[in-house]
Amino acid sequence: MAIPHTGKSVRTAAAAPTTSNKAAMAMVTTLFFMWGFVTCLNDILIPHLKSIFNLNYAEVMLVQFSFFTGYFVFAMPAGKVVQWIGYQRTMVTGLLVMALGALLFIPAASLPSFPFFLAALVVVAAGMTALQVSANAYVAILGPPQTASSRLNLTQAFNSLGTFVAPYFGSFLILSTATLSAVQMRQLSAAALHAYRLQQAATVKLPYLMIGGVLLVLALAIAFFRLPKIAGVEDTTEIEDPNTKLALSLWRQRHLILGVIGIFVYVGAEVAIGSFLVNYFNQPDIGGMPQKIAAVYVSFYWGCAMVGRFIGSAVLQKLPTGGVLGTAALMACGLVITSMMTFGHIAMWTIILVGLFNSVMFPSIFTLGIAGLGPLTGRGSGLLVAAIVGGAIIPELEGALADHIGIHHAFLLPALCYIYIAFYGFKGSRPPEAPALEERRLQAA
């Protein structure tokens, strides 16, 4: 979207890259893997902490609430940080903060304290927010605009690889010891209960110590890698011209604002489903399996997303992003409703297959949302990442529903989310040029 300006401090937007930088793509893709891995471990923490602290569904969903609220709190500041220090340094900063949060799991387990676990998750989320704001936008602008969705789907496929591996890792190291039922825990003395909680909580120490170490190594690798700067969008100057400010105002970009709602409901739906799968598969009329085995099946949900993103990367080279997004959302909605209306293996596998159609949603909504933002790409990215707070609110609402009507029927909430995403794909994501041209015609009149 070309916008005339006279302000001296505004840089002229450079032509978009005609090819993708494969070395830079490969390096940044490692970040997608790591934040997918760390995020998905929350799905293993939820049943583990629920058992240790004898929590109900609404209470244990504070894990996701605390984690994803961090995105809302830190996303817009992270967008500013991108403007101040650039994409690469923001990525390094995000990795270092994530490493700090991972290491805080060790004292949280030593107490053990559920609020301390939540605080550690907030720190991890702060670092991950900076990482997402910088890396998602960077990949989107690293090559030709017409293949931005395809590139982001490819990198998000490796994000899904992290989510696919994490449940195996978590079930082996975190859910490796036998747990007591709520009734058995109530029969323990205060000292015995504390000793039991210490033993159970200790299983998170080694995994998060390892994660912290890997994040520190990755921060060093990114710091010393020569990532290319993208002219015209990686701009740390202020936009001084009032007409340019008006035209580039984030809040005047309809496709961006509707995309923010799309990210909110998409992340909320995906996280809500993933968060309940262990307990869902544990239900006698669904899977009737112990939590450790159910955790392995969670990896199939995320594995479907990984496969779907590799497929989506190819499909989006040929088909319009909005149509692909809308179709995927309708398919996901249909699968969720089918799971709600059935039992046993049909209910299990239909909810698992939702991951296949979730696959293209985040990268498609994200690239449609930041299209045409130019120098405000960093701030637009921050606004979209702030909407990941849906992963805090929607699972909490579903937790409250599950406490009242059961897990099975609480999946109605994600189904409604997918209906909105279908609307955004087919109608709400129209190109940004259309509203801008209409505004100019009105001003001329």
Counting residues of the chain whose pLDDT is more than 90, the rounded percentage is: 35
Mean pLDDT of 416-436: 79
- With 80 as the cut, is the pLDDT of residue 229 above it? no
- With 90 as the cut, is the pLDDT of residue 418 above it? yes
Average pLDDT score over the chain: 82
Mean pLDDT of 359-383: 80
- Is 130 part of any domain? yes
pLDDT tier at 2, thresholds 50, 70, 90: very low
- Is 7 part of any domain? no
pLDDT of residue 249: 72
pLDDT tier at 423, thresholds 50, 70, 90: very high
Q: Which single residue is written with the structure tokens 């499909």?
A: 315
DSSP string, 124-148: HHHHHHHHHHHHHHHHHTSS-GGGH
Weakest mean pLDDT among 279-288, 407-416, 432-441: 432-441
Spatial contact of 130 and 98, defined as CB atoms under 8 Å apart:
no
DSSP string, 69-108: HHHHHHHHHHHHHHHHHHHHHHHHHHHHHHHHHHHTHHHH
- Is 380 part of any domain? yes
Q: How many residues does the chain have?
A: 445
DSSP letter assigned to residue 445: -
pLDDT of residue 230: 62
Mean pLDDT of 131-136: 85
**Closest among 187, 68, 46 to 114, alpha carbons compared:** 46
Query: Using one digit for the tens of pLDDT, what is the confidence trace for 210-219?
Result: 999 999 999 9
pLDDT of residue 5: 34
pLDDT of residue 241: 44
pLDDT of residue 341: 94
pLDDT of residue 21: 66
Weakest mean pLDDT among 114-128, 281-295, 340-354: 281-295
pLDDT tier at 20, thresholds 50, 70, 90: low
- With 70 as the cut, is the pLDDT of residue 164 above it? yes
pLDDT of residue 437: 41
Higher pLDDT, 299 or 372: 299
Rounded to whole angstroms, the Cα distance separating 105 from 125 reads: 13
Report the domain count for the chain: 1
Higher pLDDT, 349 or 153: 349
pLDDT of residue 431: 58
Strand residues in 225-270 grouped as ranges (E): none
CATH number at residue 385: 1.20.1250.20
pLDDT tier at 252, thresholds 50, 70, 90: confident
- Is 189 part of any domain? yes
Rounded to whole angstroms, the Cα distance separating 332 from 334 reads: 5
- Is 187 part of any domain? yes
Rounded to whole angstroms, the Cα distance separating 1 from 374 reads: 8
pLDDT of residue 112: 93
pLDDT of residue 329: 96
pLDDT tier at 240, thresholds 50, 70, 90: very low
Q: Which domain holds residue 104?
A: 22-226+243-439
The per-residue b/e assignment along 399-414, b for 16 or more CB within 10 angstroms, e otherwise, is: bbbbeeeebbebbebb
pLDDT of residue 436: 45
Query: Using one digit for the tens of pLDDT, what is the confidence trace for 81-117?
Result: 888 888 899 999 999 999 999 999 999 999 999 999 9
Full-model pTM: 0.73
Query: Using one digit for the tens of pLDDT, what is the confidence trace for 54-87?
Result: 898 889 989 989 998 988 899 888 888 888 888 8
Helices (H) and strands (E) in the chain, counts: 20, 0
Cα R_g (the chain), whole angstroms:
22
Number of other residues whose CB lies within 10 A of the CB of residue 374: 21
Per-range mean pLDDT, top range of 140-154, 302-316, 394-408? 394-408
**Closest among 237, 241, 245 to 86, alpha carbons compared:** 237
pLDDT of residue 254: 82
pLDDT of residue 176: 67
- Is 259 part of any domain? yes
Residue 372, SS3 per DSSP: coil
Query: Using one digit for the tens of pLDDT, what is the confidence trace for 318-368?
Result: 888 889 999 999 999 999 999 999 999 999 999 999 999 998 898 889 888
pLDDT of residue 97: 97
- Is 231 part of any domain? no
- With 50 as the cut, is the pLDDT of residue 25 above it? yes
pLDDT of residue 161: 86
- Is 17 part of any domain? no
pLDDT of residue 337: 96
